[in-house]
Structure 1
């Protein structure tokens, strides 16, 4: 085992500056007759990724084919290929594989054969780090999805070390994440689609810890199948290894192997990477659930709960479930069950046919929560409010606002109220209504308090059951939906009563056509519908 703690504190930037500033042609003596015309491509690759040192432009140091062959052998050994020194098809194809832009060798490495992980330069002098996405983001990925991919990538490292990562919001961050195209001011210009996918800087001042992604790549989220796309999660996880102080590893199965492979959220950090990160920051203090070790690179297996929660729970079955909470957020529909959620577009199309962990998107909710009681998007400022037990949280996107959680009674609700059943805006007046048991309150968002003449009886909501599971207003058709058990009641805001065809099966309507052939639930046993007061013409003012 060899750990190169190096006195190399100069950022990667300097190393590339030397290469970019010289722009020297490969000496003709290297382009030897025994190698074909591809040797020019190979030599560029060898210079770029450190196999030929940048200071070896001396006249007498490059005299024969042996020098180039030695460099090719180093490159082949590092990549796990037979070290022949010849430019065979496998060697040439390797130089065309998408990869990280950080060199595999540095000047202090060139005479040392690296067998395992490598530590480079300084490490962070703290274990709580912040991150922030800066500037424009990929058009192929929603911002909340992008945040989730970044969060999951950082979790790979925090699970096995003392490191903790938190989004910084609008504040300065330790790790600044940016998408750039071509030349972007650090002398490490990107090369368009393919080739170098991203590069990162070791811990330190200025660029230290930052990660740059090539904006010209077609970045895709985990689980999407697109042969022309590049999975962001795996690339981000690799680059964060550099941000934390690790260099490339010649272990093919290692995450820090320099060449691109698509991985999913089930990926388990290989032991080589674990050894490296723990050498820098020590092992984690948290006893995480153990999983069967694997380094398979497979299609997504959605039955793994988020690793942010120590307790493992099984995800719900999409076509055999009830709903805990539902809300329109940024015109999309989010449906929650347990610690998971589904996402639908405004036309009710499922983004995935399986539920994913809530903590993938909203990182700062409690680690041990059992379910979301209610959620809604505030009409006043479009922030998202989550209700869990006797507390509530406010999020701006997927970043928790400071000062939360707060108790329910902070909203003027009774101090003995342990939880709410549902929260929704109402299309008739755009105001927010909170339901619990057989009562409801109206929230004045200007004061963030319920109004003084509440609670009131739910009897005014004709035909709606009490002890609800969820409720939400769908702007697309101007109606409000109330959920209980496996069914929902469609409430017509104009007639102030449920529709005659209520209740209906939730999964058959909201998850159609995926669940159209699923067994239809018995909705007759859903009780606790309050007697309708048919002679009341007033609305829930």
Structure 2
């Protein structure tokens, strides 16, 4: 089937009659440049195909429209600056104006939109592609009450593929550079389907073509957004790399998509709440589990160069000052605390923080500090966070990482506020450690992330996994 008409662009492969350059036209441009310009204007500034006898007046009118769109001097004459813009890599959907919607304002009339990737790029592994596509959709689900779910069989609302040249529709790709991708507007059948040119070099950074930026642009089309004249907008038609770490939807694009779908608020569709760790009081003494290969920690932290491993209202303490491992109840040391869900030590202040549900305490050594407990809202968490899974202080950055389900936050201890653009998916920034973190701590320059009984020894500076361990190995069980 044809693409929805509102997204159709026409590729014209013939040479039009060439007019002699006017006095203002750049006489250094070649006949081939004129052909490039004619094909560009036919592809991106025509809703429907025109006859082959397109007149000079029509060419000039379209050229003026294109120059105005890109903020160039509007002369109607083909010059080197205009041609330079035409040769930039870009989206394959035709141009219109400011933040705009497609004709008729098509949109998804549902709260959950599914997507499926049927063919992957060879430039990165499948896990990286899945994570990047999910991140691109999340830019929109962060600001509108629409959720996206990846499926792995059957027909999804949005079908996605990477393929070069002819790929099953009427709009074959043109090789490296040029058109990078294209997408359909929302609707049945092929509505929302998104195609990426496999001849491009897809990357996760500024080398080659950044997949996150292009995917997020195309998904804007798949949600009903047309191109924008705003050079800072994601929906600007030509590709330009910007730093993607902490990237969020620019203002123009946010206004456009919210005009279609409304604004996401926690009361409309909050993120899933974490399941608080169970009250440990009725749970069995965990000492018998100490050397079990299935041992799972509730939390781990250093306190004055000694490691505390918390489990079911108790803790094991491992110290360089004595041999062996001490085992005690939490209440015997901190009478106000019955269990610890998460813990970390700010080694710059020599203060450790212990978290239980929505509350936390500060302790120096084993002495609780006055003025506690306090609410975890002190750190700036949203109201749906009712308990933390894990926390770890990174001394080299003076930032604390907080983990809740499959998300994490970064807290600036020096400025005492949460960093912008969080939470983020754990899998985006720490690939390989798992989808959630049950306990985390720092020791001898490494970070340790535990998911269940499995633990990853991680080099934070280079974002690299050093080795994979089991939790029980810390408790003198070898």
TM-score, normalising length: structure 2: 0.57
Q: Quick one: which of 245, 255, 275 aligns to 2:234? A: 255
Deviations 1:155-210 (A, max 9, x none): 11111111111112324311111001111121111111111100001112221111
Counterpart position of 2:296: none
Counterpart position of 1:423: 453
Counterpart position of 2:62: 71
Unmatched segments (≥5 aa) in structure 2? 271-380, 410-422, 441-448, 458-466
Q: Quick one: which of 3, 8, 15 aligns to 1:25? A: 15
Offset of 1:357 from its aligned partner?
3.9
2:234 is aligned with 1:243:
no
Counterpart position of 1:140: 123
Q: Quick one: which of 31, 44, 48 aligns to 2:43? A: 48
Deviations 1:16-63 (A, max 9, x none): 4xx35x74432445887955322221111000112x56454275x62x
Contact 1:150–1:236 (8 Å) recurs in 2: yes
Counterpart position of 2:339: none
Offset of 1:362 from its aligned partner?
11
Offset of 1:259 from its aligned partner?
0.7
CA distance in 2, matches of 1:242, 1:480: 42
Say which SS state the counterpart of residue 100 (structure 1) adopts.
Answer: coil
Deviations 1:122-158 (A, max 9, x none): 21111210111112x2222121111111111111111
2:5 is aligned with 1:15:
no
2:160 is aligned with 1:177:
yes
Offset of 1:215 from its aligned partner?
0.7
Contact 2:115–2:160 (8 Å) recurs in 1: yes
2:137 is aligned with 1:154:
yes
- Comparing both structures, which one devotes a greater share of its residues to strand? 2
2:262 is aligned with 1:194:
no
2:438 is aligned with 1:372:
yes
Contact 2:406–2:425 (8 Å) recurs in 1: no
Contact 2:43–2:94 (8 Å) recurs in 1: yes
Say which SS state the counterpart of residue 230 (structure 2) adopts.
Answer: coil
Q: Quick one: which of 390, 394, 410 aligns to 1:317? A: 394
2:51 is aligned with 1:57:
yes
Offset of 1:272 from its aligned partner?
1.7
Offset of 1:254 from its aligned partner?
1.0
CA distance in 2, matches of 1:12, 1:158: 26
CA distance in 2, matches of 1:84, 1:202: 32
Deviations 1:510-532 (A, max 9, x none): xxxxxxxxxxxxxxxxxxxxxxx
Counterpart position of 1:446: none
Unmatched segments (≥5 aa) in structure 1? 1-8, 106-113, 290-306, 325-335, 342-354, 375-385, 389-421, 425-469, 473-478, 492-496, 499-541
Contact 2:6–2:47 (8 Å) recurs in 1: no
Q: Quick one: which of 237, 251, 264 aligns to 1:284? A: 264
2:112 is aligned with 1:128:
yes
Say which SS state the counterpart of residue 8 (structure 2) adopts.
Answer: helix
2:188 is aligned with 1:205:
yes
Say which SS state the counterpart of residue 196 (structure 1) adopts.
Answer: coil
**How many positions carry a matched residue from both structures?**
323
Offset of 1:76 from its aligned partner?
1.3
CA distance in 1, matches of 2:7, 2:248: 33
Contact 2:6–2:102 (8 Å) recurs in 1: no
Deviations 1:104-130 (A, max 9, x none): 14xxxxxxxx34323344211112101
Counterpart position of 1:94: 85
CA distance in 2, matches of 1:165, 1:216: 27
CA distance in 1, matches of 2:20, 2:202: 37
CA distance in 2, matches of 1:338, 1:15: 39
CA distance in 1, matches of 2:87, 2:391: 41
TM-score, normalising length: structure 1: 0.51
CA distance in 1, matches of 2:255, 2:474: 55
Contact 1:31–1:40 (8 Å) recurs in 2: no
Deviations 1:252-301 (A, max 9, x none): 11111111122304223222212211121111123899xxxxxxxxxxxx
Offset of 1:97 from its aligned partner?
0.7
Q: Quick one: which of 79, 86, 100 aligns to 1:117? A: 100
Q: Residue 48 and residue 490 in structure 1: after superposition, are their counterparts in 2 closer, same or farther (change >3 A)?
A: farther
CA distance in 1, matches of 2:469, 2:391: 27
Q: Quick one: which of 128, 148, 156 aligns to 1:165? A: 148
